[in-house]
Structure formats: structure tokens, C-alpha cells
Structure 1
Amino acid sequence: MLRLCVLVLAAAAAVTAQESFKCPDDYGFYPHSRSCDKYWKCDNGVAELKTCGNGLAFDATDSKFLTENCDYIHNVECNERTQLEPPISAPHCPRLYGIFPDEAKCDVFWNCWNGEASRYQCSPGLAYDRDARVCMWADQVPECKIEEVANGFNCPAPGELANAGSFSRHAHPEDCRKYYVCLEGVAREYGCPIGTVFKIGDSDGSGNCEDPEDVPGCEDYYGDLDVKALKKLGLKK
């Protein structure tokens, strides 16, 4: 029993020591010694312990300690400040703040702000890289399954297309605006600029983006939308 009391008192003393802080100056914002998502706010020499939003961390790069800034954890160098508050999750958000990949589709990611998730999708042929946190070619993203890369489209075997060499373009089987580019046997999905569709060329493995009215079978791709106005505004479908 005595040993238990000693351990409890020691733990309490450690917490008290950890939470005590003497302001170096009357005013400023200072990083916590152990927690990356906590910091001290000093006002008239009085220290107040603050905590960033769940998924954010305190940016301690201001050498003058005059900036109060919580940023996404992946943007902050925590170094020896290794502790973080336990995760608080919401739909599509492992933490309330952050940028997170979709668990089902490798070309989709979510931007979470206070638990509200906004869905984003990479451009055709790209997938969200969890480490770099940018959209990259799908075949370069390890989390992307092979069948998800270019929707399972397979490039022609070397020499199969006359005069195509190692580079060729191919129409998407379902979407007039999309097409595949094969480079050294690797398929990547592209999309024509808004207002145009892909037109198969005269020779094997060739083609370009043209006006829908010049592409048989794709004349009504944009329906009743004003194609000229779309092209002028540069909107995405």
C-alpha cells in the first residue's frame, strides 16, 4: 500500500512538473516540451496551456515566439515533442483536422476541418499518394491496386501496333472525354480539356481531343450545355 501511494505521488509530481511553465517574456506563444499539439500562451507574464484542434500541431518555427499557429500535423516538425492528444474521429476523418486518403478509392482523398469532410478526386490517371500528400500517376502509388490503375486497361504488346513505337493513345471504352496513353507499356488515363472529346486518329494508337460534333458517337456528350461557354470558362465536368 505504501509503495502504491509513493508511485501515485511520484506520478502526480511528474504531471505537475510537466504542466508548470515560467514565461520567458510577458507576451508570446511557446511550444510544450513534450506535446506537439500543445503550447503555452503568455499574457502579462501569465502562462496558459492551450491545445490545438485534433489533428493539428503547434508550429514552433517563429524564433521570436510571437506567432500563434496550429497547422496540420504533417506540416509541423515535432522533433522531441512526440506526444499527441488521442484521435477524435468523424466520417472519413481519422482526426478532426487533416488530409486523409479514401479507404475504398485510391484517387479520392478528404480534407477534414473540425470533423467536416470535403471530398476531392484526383485528375484522370492520377491517385492520391499518402506519403507525399499529392496526386501522382496511379501506377506510382503503392496503395493503388493493379486493377484500379487505368481501370484495368492493358496496353498493346510491343510491336503490336504498326508505327506506334513505345507511345500510343487509346479511346476510353465508356467515356468520350477520357483516353489512355501507353508509354513503354504502362497505361495512364488522361482527360480531354472541357468542351472536347477524344477522337481516334487515322493510324493505330493515335488520336486527339476535338469538338464533340466532329466525333461520331460523342456529339451529345455534353448534352444541352453550352460547349463554347464551358471552354471559355475552363470549367470541369
Structure 2
Amino acid sequence: AEEKLCPDGLLFDDGNPSHERCDTPVNVDCGDRDQLQEPKSTEGCPRANGFFRHPDGEVCDKFVNCIDGVPNEMPCPPGLIYDDEASTCAWASETNRKCVQLKRDALEDGFSCPEGEVMGPNGRTLPHPTFAHPDDCQKFYICRNGVEPQYGSCPAGMVYNEETFKCDEPDNVPGW
């Protein structure tokens, strides 16, 4: 039998005997196999292939995707940080990683998404909470993933309802 090696950073997945496949470590159950080949590291890549923590330990919302020893810096979606153990981006509360506060973007008018979760009328956390505009009741702000602010506006004749977090008929909005 001929011994073959997967490209550095990838592991052999023997879960399906009908095809030989190399995959990222998070997708492979090695069982008792615990030996890895010597790493072929390059600048920015601890191994030739795989997903790795950003070289600047303070940068939590980006990671490096190494392909054949070439590092590619990738952003996590807004509000998420890179989780080494899962090799993916996740909510900070779901990782063991301790990061300094993520920077919060602000819109031209100065609005930035507030800290903490926002509960909807049904008692569930809103993934993309909305907030009333201070001067225009037809407008509101959307916080994508709770951290990325965007402008929103209601259709003509509708106003933003702070109790339901939606556009509504003016008659249904308290104080209108």
C-alpha cells in the first residue's frame, strides 16, 4: 500500500470508504489517529491550508484563510468574532475567546447601535433590532446582528411603532 498525505493543514476523512477526501480539521473525526505531518508554515499561515486566528490578537472580527500557504484576511459578519475551536465566526457569548470591545460603527447622524440585547413583544431577543428616529416618525434605525446600524423608513402614510418595532398605521401608534 502506498502512503499518501493530505495537503498540509487538511486531514484525511475516512468516514466514507467510497472516496478519498481531505478536509478541514473541524469536519474530520480522526478517532485514534493523532499524528499530523510537520507544518509547512509561511508568513501569515501556521499551516499551508486552513482557517486561523488573525495575527493581531486584538483583532477578533477577522480571520485568515490560508490556501496553499497564501494568507487571505477575511471578515466575520457584523457582531461575530472568530472562534478558533470551531474554525468559524460566532457570537462572543458562544466562544471561549475573550476580546476587547468590538468597535461600533456610527451613521452620519451619529447613531450607533446600543449595547445589549433587545427583547421583542413576544419576549424573544430581536436579531436585528430597530429603533425610532429622534426627529422623523416615518424613519427608524435597523441594527443588523445588533451592531451594524442602517437607516430604515416606513412606506408613505405609515409611522414607526416603538412598541411593536414595526411600521404601523398612525392610529395604532401611542402618542401619534
Q: Please report the TM-score for the alignment, with normalisation by the length of structure 1.
A: 0.46
Task: Determine which structure has more spread, i.e. the larger CA radius of gyration.
Answer: 1
Residues 162-211 of structure 1: CA distance to partner in whole angstroms, max 9, x if unpaired? xxxxxxxxxx44766983243359xxxx99xxxxxx997228xx941437
Are residue 202 (structure 1) and residue 131 (structure 2) matched? no
The alignment covers a number of residue pairs equal to: 132
2:86 maps to 1:132? yes
Measured in 2, the distance between the counterparts of 1:83 and 1:49 equals: 14
Cα contact 2:64–2:73 (8 A) shared by 1: yes
Change in Cα spacing, 1:140 to 1:69, as seen in structure 2 (3 Å) is closer
Q: Are residues 1:183 and 2:106 paired?
A: no
1:91-114 CA distances to partner (integer Å, 9 max, x unpaired)? Answer: 221110111111321111111111
Distance 1:67 1:184, change over 3 A: closer
Matched, 1:79 2:12: no
- Counterparts in 2 of 1:119 and 1:207: CA distance versus 1, 3 Å: same
Report if aligned partners of 1:101, 1:130 keep a CA contact under 8 Å in 2.
yes
Distance 1:181 1:141, change over 3 A: farther
Pairing of 1:98-137 with structure 2 (within 5 A) = 98-104=50-56, 105-137=59-91
**Match of 2:113, as an amino acid?**
Y
Q: Is the 8 A contact 1:199 1:210 kept in 2?
A: no
> In structure 1, how many angstroms separate the alpha carbons of the residues matched to 2:116 and 2:23?
39
Q: Give the structure 1 partner of residue 22 of structure 2.
A: 70
Q: Structure 2: any 5+ residue segments left out of the alignment?
A: 119-126, 142-149, 153-176
Which string of whole-angstrom CA distances, capped at 9 and with x for unpartnered residues, describes residues 59-115 of structure 1? 1012xx331211112221111111111111112211101111113211111111111
Say which of 48, 71, 79 aligns to 1:96.
48
2:13 match: 59
Q: Residue type matched to 1:76 in 2? A: V
Q: Distance in 2 between matches of 1:48 and 1:177?
A: 64
| Higher RCO (Cα < 8 Å, 6 or more apart) | 2
CA contact (8 A) 2:140 2:151 kept: no
Q: In 2, distance between residues paired with 1:122 and 1:130?
A: 13
How large is the Cα RMSD of the aligned pairs?
A: 3.5
The question of whether the paired residues in 2 share the 8 Å contact of 1:92 and 1:100 is answered with no
Which residue of structure 1 aligns with residue 171 of structure 2? none
Residues 138 and 66 of structure 1, relative CA distance in 2, 3 Å threshold: closer
